[in-house]
Structure 1
Amino acid sequence: MTDKRDSWGTDRPVSWLPYGVAAMKGVFALALFRLFATPFSEEMFGEQWLPMPTWEWTLASLTPVLLIVVARRPADWSVISGERTTLRIALIFYLAYGLAFAAFQGKTVLRLSVAAGLGGLAGMRLLARKEPAHGS
């Protein structure tokens, strides 16, 4: 996930992973806002302005999976080691919402969100197992 950039006259590789992590966090914050906007508008204003999320939730649930796929090299995976908890929280939240609404409300498009959550958690587990152990 490094790319040669010559913006300041140096030919050092620049990592794009922090931008990917920031994008994942931003999409997660927007997804949470989108999720809670519907009950908020119904409670505060007496009418539902937006329906509950469906296809946009599925797209949002793919962002942590894309970050995991991009950072699958051990060097890149160690760079985002501090963000693994955030990744796991986002994946579990996307999985829980997708599973609940796919099962109880019959929203079939959210099955992709469930698959993305399960795939992302499995990918994290696989990459954590392949990470080189640091002895002390």
Structure 2
Amino acid sequence: MTETRDSGGTSRTVAWLQYGVAGVKIVFLLSVFRLLATPFSEEMFGEQWLPMPTWEWALASVTPVLLIVLARRPADRAALSGEQTILRIALTFYLVYGLAFAAVQDKVILWLSVVAGIGGLVTMYLLNRKEPLHGS
């Protein structure tokens, strides 16, 4: 996952991609936990401790999109190819929740998660179809 980039004539090892993937996975797990915390508290304790996610869901849905956009170089895409399944799952999950609850709860901020989910999935599709600029 680490690679060498030539920036300014010096070669440096950059390991940002593995941290980005780990960050997306952690945010995804925390967002699923956050989503399930509201019904759990209501079921177990009889009262709702937290409202259903709104702005934090929109914020979490942007994290995979940022990783996909930042890793658009062919070398980064090759390193990210093993993580595409988890990215698709996260984007689809954010999209489905955002679409369902934006219509039901009338929360405008959840439409950002819908846009982020669609944008991320389309960006992944387009970058996967893109031919490398230099032949191997």
Task: Give the letter for the 2:30 counterpart.
Answer: L
Shift of 1:105: 1.7
Q: Could you tell me how far apart the structure 1 residues matched to 2:125 and 2:4 are?
A: 23
Uncovered stretches (5+) of structure 1, i.e. residues with no partner = 5-10
Divergent runs of 4+, >6 A = 1-4
For residues 16-52 of structure 1, the C-alpha deviation after alignment (integer angstroms, 9 at most, x for no partner) is 1000000000000000000000000000000000000
Give aligned pairs, total: 127
TM-score (norm 2): 0.88
Q: Extract unaligned runs of 5+ from structure 2.
A: none
2:26 maps to which residue? 26
Aligned equivalent of 1:67: 67
- Separation (CA, whole Å) in 2 of partners of 1:87 and 1:33: 17
What is aligned with 1:42?
42
Report if the CA contact (8 A) 1:2-1:16 is conserved: no
Deviation (angstroms), 1:2: 6.2
Identity of aligned residues (%): 71
| Offset of residue 131 of structure 1 | 4.7
Partner of 1:7: none
CA gap of 1:74–1:3, structure 2 versus 1, over 3 A, is closer
Q: How does 1:35-114 map onto structure 2 within 5 Å? A: 35-114=35-114
| CA distance in structure 1 between the partners assigned to 2:128 and 2:93 by the alignment | 20
Equivalent residue letter for 1:123: T
Hey, what's the Cα distance between the residues in 2 that align with 1:53 and 1:32?
10
SS at match of 1:80: helix
Partner SS, residue 51 of structure 2: coil
The residue aligned with 2:16 is 16
Structure 1 residue 103 displacement after superposition:
1.1
Alpha-carbon RMSD across the aligned residues, in angstroms, is 1.8
- Taking a change above 3 Å as real, the CA distance of residues 81 and 47 of structure 1, as seen in their structure-2 partners, is same
